[in-house]
């Protein structure tokens, strides 16, 4: 096992990874930017080093500097968390070259999956149903018009390299396609060297269901069931749950084995997630995330498996600690992401100093947090400050537990999205599991927040 691990990340996930290290008796090294000088994760680590100015490009994305610190303090391995360098094939490559174990998949697996066109090719070969469309970049607008005609409108234009929906556009009619293609292609050029744009049939009101995988270097590979992450606002997830309300044991086995087949094809190692869209009773492969995900905690709660510890053990060459038949899904887990943003002002980020901070307590509650009272939320990074996850035996009970837990928060000094989360947890459609990625727009949730807010008081 490793003796010392460097965590190349910040906030709640840096703390989460260091907890796993501590439980495995591994020493931890934090690297932080100037903006994070007073952060929790910096203090949590055995050693911490400032690696540069606040801008991520000059700190959390500075490969050279991070490698330099890693070598200087003699770490065996680097955990990248999520975001930043987690799916950077070059970083994984450099780690390997420098004799530092990258706690994640191989550089080539990352590269394969970060090209969505490539990922579609791989999945098709593995016999996994993909969203109808093409597996190559569009050459010109005639070709695009031709393909769109065959697929039928509406269609979706996507950048092969664009993460988080960047450059993605819905095109409802022929007359709009050419202009849309130009825009997507210019976005693709601006964000990546892979400038290709492809077309898919647009699925209306799909649900987003994903499968968690774990694979070791000995060829063992298992799935830890599914999560549903359809509740999102402008491509930013806000609520996730495990299992998906639409999932049956049989469907889970089908989807799980599809995901496993796909991962095997590219010799995938470590934790990974295969995302599907569910539409008119079908699952379609969307993309694969070659990293630990924000929402991993809810899978941990329904399976009892510590995904981060598994990641570390896998990277250290150990075998998975359990077999597929030992994985049992129990009860329901739900996660709310707490963001510092103003739900009454178009969700503008609300950085600043947290004056009061109290979090809920009680049975079945898990909080993954990077903040405490007095913490300063820098405006440079993602505004997620904490994740609240609850578990209960049934979905209804989990929702009631979540409402109570949200009520138990006291955060002042920064605005938070808790009013949005309260509103979702009280929505009748959400309560019965009847929702899609269109949920927030479809039910005017943003308008509902204002009406709702009067009636919900918090503890003080
Ligand atoms: C889609 C889709 C419908 N049809 N593709 C949005 C971000 C990108 N990662 C994939 N996304 C979508 N792709 C087709 N062919 C709908 C979405 C989508 C979505 C997907 C997952 C989770 C939330 C979403 C919210 C809006 C749209």
Q: Which atom of ligand 1 is nearest to the CA of 275?
A: 21
Q: Which of 208, 228, 229, 445 to mutate to test the pocket of ligand 1 (most atoms within 8 A of CB)?
A: 208
Please tell me whether residues 213 and 196 are part of one structural domain.
Answer: no
Q: Which residues of 26-45 are buried (b: 16+ CB within 10 A; e: fewer)?
A: bbbbbbbbebbeebbbbebb
Q: Which CATH number belongs to the domain containing residue 34 in this structure?
A: 3.40.50.20
Specify if 114 maps to a domain: no
Average pLDDT over residues 145-168: 91
Q: Which residue is it, tokens 């996850």?
A: 389
**Which strands make up the sheet holding 197-201, listed edge to edge?**
169-171, 155-159, 197-201
| CA-nearest residue, atom 21 of ligand 1 | 208
pLDDT attached to residue 455: 61
Residue count (the chain) = 460
Rounded to the nearest angstrom, the distance between the alpha carbon of 202 and the centre of ligand 1 is 9
Average pLDDT over residues 163-173: 87
Please tell me whether residues 154 and 287 are part of one structural domain.
Answer: no
| CA-nearest residue, atom 3 of ligand 1 | 203
pLDDT attached to residue 454: 60
Rounded to the nearest angstrom, the distance between the alpha carbon of 287 and the centre of ligand 1 is 10
Rounded to the nearest angstrom, the distance between the alpha carbon of 229 and the centre of ligand 1 is 11
Q: Which of 123, 133, 148, 165 to mutate to test the pocket of ligand 1 (most atoms within 8 A of CB)?
A: 165
Residue-wise pLDDT for 357-405, tens only, equals 999 999 999 999 999 999 999 999 999 999 999 999 999 999 999 999 9
Please tell me whether residues 189 and 215 are part of one structural domain.
Answer: no
Using a 6 Å CB cutoff, which residues line ligand 1?
131, 156, 165, 168, 200-203, 206, 208, 232, 235, 277, 286, 437
CA angle, 424 then 429 then 435, to 5°: 85
pLDDT attached to residue 396: 98
Q: Which of 200, 206, 208, 231 to mutate to test the pocket of ligand 1 (most atoms within 8 A of CB)?
A: 206
| Boundary (domain end) residue, out of 103, 123, 149 | 103
Please tell me whether residues 196 and 136 are part of one structural domain.
Answer: yes
Residue-wise pLDDT for 245-260, tens only, equals 999 999 999 999 999 9
Q: Which CATH number belongs to the domain containing residue 191 in this structure?
A: 3.30.1490.20
Please tell me whether residues 250 and 274 are part of one structural domain.
Answer: yes
User: Is the confidence at residue 459, as pLDDT, over 70?
Assistant: no
Question: What is the token pair recorded at 72?
Answer: 């200087």
Please tell me whether residues 152 and 288 are part of one structural domain.
Answer: no
Specify if 116 maps to a domain: no
Please tell me whether residues 148 and 46 are part of one structural domain.
Answer: no
Average pLDDT, the chain: 96
Specify if 84 maps to a domain: yes
Specify if 126 maps to a domain: no
Report whether 65 contacts 32 (CB < 8 A).
no
| CA-nearest residue, atom 8 of ligand 1 | 165
Asked if the bond preceding 176 is cis, omega within 30° of 0, the reply is no
Rounded to the nearest angstrom, the distance between the alpha carbon of 425 and the centre of ligand 1 is 23
Distance CA 15, CA 368 (A): 8
Q: Which atom of ligand 1 is nearest to the CA of 163?
A: 9
Catalytic residue positions?
291
Residue 457: pLDDT band with limits 50, 70, 90: low
Average pLDDT over residues 139-166: 92
Report whether 159 contacts 192 (CB < 8 A).
yes
pLDDT attached to residue 191: 82
Please tell me whether residues 24 and 82 are part of one structural domain.
Answer: yes
Beta strands in 202-355 (DSSP E): 207-215, 221-233, 236-242, 270-279, 282-289, 332-339, 341-342, 348-349, 352-353
Average pLDDT over residues 422-436: 98
| Boundary (domain end) residue, out of 172, 201, 230 | 201
Please report, rounded to a whole number, the percentage of residues in the chain having pLDDT higher than 70: 98
Closest CA to 82 of 239, 291, 298, 244: 291
Q: CA 328 from chain center: how many Å?
A: 23
CB atoms within 10 A of CB 54: 17
Please tell me whether residues 197 and 211 are part of one structural domain.
Answer: no
Specify if 95 maps to a domain: yes
pLDDT attached to residue 162: 74
Rounded to the nearest angstrom, the distance between the alpha carbon of 333 and the centre of ligand 1 is 23
Average pLDDT over residues 155-162: 92
Distance CA 44, CA 368 (A): 14
Specify if 127 maps to a domain: no
Q: Which residue is it, tokens 């929790």?
A: 40
> What would the DSSP string read from start to end of 85-133?
TTT-HHHHHHHHHTT-EESSS-HHHHHHHHSHHHHHHHHHHTT--B-SB
pLDDT attached to residue 166: 82
Specify if 253 maps to a domain: yes
Q: Which atom of ligand 1 is nearest to the CA of 287?
A: 9
Please tell me whether residues 278 and 165 are part of one structural domain.
Answer: no
pLDDT attached to residue 195: 87
Average pLDDT over residues 120-134: 95
> What would the DSSP string read from start to end of 219-243?
S-EEEEEEEEEEEEETTEEEEEEES
Q: Which CATH number belongs to the domain containing residue 412 in this structure?
A: 3.30.470.20
Domain coverage including residue 245: 207-455
Q: Which residue is it, tokens 């990248």?
A: 80
Report whether 17 contacts 29 (CB < 8 A).
no
| CA-nearest residue, atom 19 of ligand 1 | 437
User: Is the confidence at residue 458, as pLDDT, over 80?
Assistant: no
Average pLDDT over residues 401-412: 97
Distance CA 29, CA 257 (A): 37
| CA-nearest residue, atom 26 of ligand 1 | 437
Specify if 117 maps to a domain: no
Closest CA to 365 of 301, 293, 412, 432: 301
| CA-nearest residue, atom 11 of ligand 1 | 165
Which residues are CB-neighbours of 364 under 8 A, at least 6 positions away? 390, 391, 392, 398, 401
Please tell me whether residues 305 and 354 are part of one structural domain.
Answer: yes
Q: Which atom of ligand 1 is nearest to the CA of 164?
A: 9
Residue-wise pLDDT for 169-199, tens only, equals 999 999 999 999 999 999 998 888 888 999 9
Rounded to the nearest angstrom, the distance between the alpha carbon of 45 and the centre of ligand 1 is 37
User: Is the confidence at residue 263, as pLDDT, over 60?
Assistant: yes
Please tell me whether residues 241 and 285 are part of one structural domain.
Answer: yes
| Boundary (domain end) residue, out of 86, 103, 120 | 103
Rounded to the nearest angstrom, the distance between the alpha carbon of 382 and the centre of ligand 1 is 21
| Domains identified in the chain, total number | 3
């Amino acid at each position: 096992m490793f003796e010392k691990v460097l965590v190349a990340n910040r906030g709640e996930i840096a703390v989460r990874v260091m907890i796993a290290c501590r439980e495995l008796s591994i020493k931890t090294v934090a690297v932080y930017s100037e903006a994070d000088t007073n952060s929790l994760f910096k203090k949590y680590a055995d050693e911490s080093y400032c690696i540069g100015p606040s801008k991520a490009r000059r700190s959390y994305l500075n490969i050279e500097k991070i490698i330099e610190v890693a070598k200087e303090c003699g770490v065996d391995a680097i955990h990248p968390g999520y975001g930043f360098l987690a799916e950077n094939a070059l970083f994984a490559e450099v780690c390997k070259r420098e004799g530092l174990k990258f706690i994640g998949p191989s550089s080539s697996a990352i590269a394969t999956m970060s090209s969505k066109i490539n990922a579609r090719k791989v999945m098709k070969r593995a016999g996994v149903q993909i969203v109808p469309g093409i597996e190559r970049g569009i050459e010109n607008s005639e070709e695009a018009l031709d393909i769109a005609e065959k697929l039928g409108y509406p269609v979706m234009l996507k950048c092969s390299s664009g993460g988080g929906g960047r450059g993605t556009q819905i095109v409802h009619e022929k007359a709009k396609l050419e202009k849309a293609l130009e825009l997507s292609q210019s976005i693709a050029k601006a964000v990546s060297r892979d400038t290709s744009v492809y077309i898919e049939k647009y699925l209306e009101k799909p649900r987003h269901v994903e499968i968690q995988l774990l694979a070791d270097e000995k060829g063992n590979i298992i799935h830890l069931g599914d999560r549903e992450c359809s509740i999102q606002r402008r491509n930013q997830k806000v609520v996730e749950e495990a299992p998906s309300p639409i999932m049956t044991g049989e469907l889970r086995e089908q989807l799980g084995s599809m995901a496993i087949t796909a991962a095997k094809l590219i010799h995938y190692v470590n934790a990974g997630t295969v995302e599907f869209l569910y539409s008119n009773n079908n699952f379609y492969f969307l993309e694969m995330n070659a990293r630990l995900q924000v929402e991993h905690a809810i899978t941990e709660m329904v399976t009892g498996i510590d995904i981060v510890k598994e990641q570390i053990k896998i990277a250290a060459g150990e075998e998975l600690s359990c077999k597929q038949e030992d994985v049992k899904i129990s009860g329901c887990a739900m996660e709310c992401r707490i963001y510092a943003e103003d739900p009454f002002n178009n969700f503008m980020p609300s950085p600043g100093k947290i004056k009061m901070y109290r979090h809920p307590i009680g049975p079945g509650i898990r909080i993954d947090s990077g903040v405490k009272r007095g913490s300063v939320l820098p405006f440079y990074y993602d505004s997620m400050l904490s994740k609240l996850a609850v578990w209960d035996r049934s979905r209804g009970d989990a929702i009631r537990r979540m409402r109570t837990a949200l009520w138990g928060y006291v955060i002042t000094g920064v605005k938070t999205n808790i009013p949005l989360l309260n509103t979702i947890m009280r929505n009748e459609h959400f309560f019965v599991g009847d929702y899609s990625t269109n949920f927030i727009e479809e039910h005017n949730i943003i308008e509902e927040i204002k009406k709702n807010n009067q009636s919900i008081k918090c503890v003080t």
